[in-house]
Structure 1
Amino acid sequence: MIELRTPAEIEEMRPAGRFVASVLEATSAAAAVGVNLLELDALAHEMIRKAGAESCYIDYHPSFGASPFGKVICTSVNDAVLHGLPHDYTLRDGDLLSLDFAASVNGWVADSAISLVVGTPREEDLRLIDTTRRALDAGIAAARTGNRIGDISRAIADVAKAEGYSINTDFGGHGVGRTMHGDPHIPNNGRPGRGLPLKPGLVIAIEPWFLETTDRIFTDPDGWTLRSADGSRGSHSEHTIAITDGDPIVLTQRS
């Protein structure tokens, strides 16, 4: 069911957005050569505890997950692009790391993701990350009253295709509110002018993710981590936004 939020409810969602942004800022700043993925998860876990927030991930068990997630942040490295389950892995020079985090504050959820290179970057990785960020910006710019879901999807796809990246539509953006995932689904490719009309009060997460040389993925033996079929690297960017009568509000904007 699609729910529209009142202006007062959108204001109530701001603390969740600020908290999610702060955790991604802290964990991305802590990500360095020699840091273990479990240390990043522990940092996020401690921030949740101190803020009195609730994890959206630790007990999360959708149909595509092998078991409850059990951690509080997704850490996807190199050929992993989504749902990376934190494990005993120490970051190395040149690793491409995607961090995806969602939490509930005062009963409202926000969801966001960021990709970065640890240590010395490859030019190909910087291009991939930049494309994903620009695709997110384009999707947000299209998230205006009077447009439709397909306009967001096409704006994202246009950026990716201009750089030669193919697009997987199995996973994409989604509604956000009292729970992490809700309607509508927002694929990263689509036809303009099609799909649900965008109205003030719709709160959604827009999340482009691209792989360097494929659009095919498979699930890691851990039952969660999604990896590229050909071993190429992936990048993921996401913000939770609220659609208004004017410009969209980016609830998870980082400083």
Structure 2
Amino acid sequence: MNFHAIRAIYKFEMARTFRTVLQSIVSPVISTSLYFVVFGAAIGSRITDVDGVGYGAFIVPGLIMLSLLTQSISNASFGIFFPKFTGTIYEILSAPVSYLEIVIGYVGAAATKSLVLGLLILATSTLFVPLQIMHPFWMLLFLVLTAITFCLFGFVLGIWADGFEKLQLVPFLIVTPLIFLGGSFYSIDMLPPFWQTVSLFNPVVYLISAFRWSFYGVADVSVALSASMTVLFLVLCLTAIWWIFKTGYRLKT
């Protein structure tokens, strides 16, 4: 394992984050804080509770997941897209660096940025609502697992995209609607039976449900099923990356 190569890629990507800290860190934290003000204070004061949890506190896991998923995909996709766009990806591919080390460097940096952002939003939420975490170990585990999984997905997206339009297509037209319809601001038990069934086909439901369980011990679906779905998606992303490097899809042409 070439740790020098991994560290070089990791440090380069993290340095890019520090150069754009307002856009990468501050802006998402402020945007999420506005959600707390609007939904937690304005609307939350009119809703008693959801599953025995105050509405302001109930939406905290969903808002963290909202930022974590979007930023994980964005960080990883932009991280690998720009070397393709500028042509420097060929220098990396021709260097004595394995594909595994390339993935660890880029995905590791993107996941680190996403985790820092998620923890900052978690800390910020305590300023707006009383918060408790019943299962802190599982909370951190789900946070790390989700960040890595969607950074891998973002890595695949960044390689697939051949322009800035495609780079934004999946996050804005597919992922963001799935997050909003995945129980970020409500429990799917509040929906009519038909829409509850439809919601179960939304993979984000399982992520948010498991993460919310780690806070309050309540979940819309089985925690074991949620973890299994996350691991399955992780394996699918790893398989896609393996195929991309094996065939050179949109890397060597």
Q: TM-score band (shorter)?
A: 0.3 to 0.5
User: What is the TM-score when the length of structure 1 is the normalising length?
Assistant: 0.34
Larger Rg computed on CA atoms: 2
Higher helix share: 2
Higher strand share: 1
